[in-house]
Chain A
Amino acid sequence: MEDQDILLKFRDPASRNLAFNQLVRKYQSKVYWHVRKMVVDHDDADDLTQEVFIKVWKHLENFRQDASLYTWIYRIATNECLNLLASKRRKFFLPLNDVGAELTQKLEADEQLAGDEVELKLQKAILRLPDKQRLVFNLRYYDEMPYEQMAEVTGTSVGALKASYHHAVKKIEQYVNEASD
């Protein structure tokens, strides 16, 4: 179902639930993996994905279609991720890097990475990035999102995003090289 059809049906109380169900089915995988890349842990990603769709439900009626529905949902998901990571820091009085350390522990416990040393180092390097830079890296490297769309999701200029991604790549390469020595 096209986004426009979903929005049209959502505005009709009789077909609202059906339209929303279609919306969740359409975007759940993208939202889940976007969130999972940021929080690593499946349970956190599960909770956050549900929170994202609950927010979508609450605010979809006021969605003005300035951006595409996909971009709008991504923006909500991004904000939820950043809020969760920030709240973890506040809750446990952690400095910036310690959330990265916690995420690295979760990553090391993941069976999928067992045996692939370079990939494990790459993932550890990504988790050492500050949250917002990691977000930029994920959107560009994994999702291959165009910079213009990234600018809509993050509310940052295209130039700043390009610079951020470039620095992220340099930091990752440096970390992997140092870890291999």
Chain B
Amino acid sequence: MKTPFRLDEHPRRPQPPLAPPAADFFDKLPLRVMQRVRPAADADAAPAWGWLAALSAPLRTALASVVVLLTFVGSFWLASRPGSQPAVRPLSAAQALAAVPRAEAVQYLLSDAAPRLTLADLADTHVAERDLTADFLPGTDADIQAALDEQPSLDVYL
């Protein structure tokens, strides 16, 4: 009678009796693995924009167009923001004049470089600031009114 097969009575092998690989298989395997992981290692070391090179040409073109468009939009937005440009306030004539040092102004007026004013020049002068004359007239409004009242009406109307 045949004895039934029992696994624990069967001689145990460390591994199934399969044909072992070639003698130098395990010598070459590390090199083959390293060759396959090296491109990944190089990609790790590549600059952050290395992914750009991996894109197809149409995608790169589309991406460049988007970047240019975004640059325009960005610059336009920055330019249109309030307070983005330094405010240039036009100085009034009085302020501009006040900014000139007194000594320099006197020097200028005494020199020949100062143009001689004629009546024609005064006729052309456009006085933007109407209160400017208040600084030059010695009298007050009441004085002027009194001076006008003293004038004979005949002289005024004739």
Contacts and interface: CB of A to CB of B under 8 A. Distances in A.
Interface of A: 13, 16-17, 20-21, 24-25, 28-29, 32-33, 36-37, 40, 42, 46, 49-50, 53-54, 57-58, 107, 110-113, 116, 118-119, 121-123, 126, 141-142, 169, 172-173, 176-177, 180-181
A32 B30 CA distance: 12
Contact of A112 (B19, B37, B41): B19
Q: For chain B, give the interface size range.
A: 20 to 34
B7 interface: yes
B23 interface: no
A54 B33 contact: yes
Nearest to B33: A53
Contact of A172 (B7, B30, B37, B40): B7
Given A46-B21, A113-B17, A142-B15, A24 B41 contact: no
Given A118-B10, A172-B7, A180-B5, A40 B17 contact: no
A74 to B, nearest CB: 15
Interface string B7-44: 10010111111110100011001101110111011000
A173 B33 contact: no
Contact of B17 (A32, A50, A119): A119
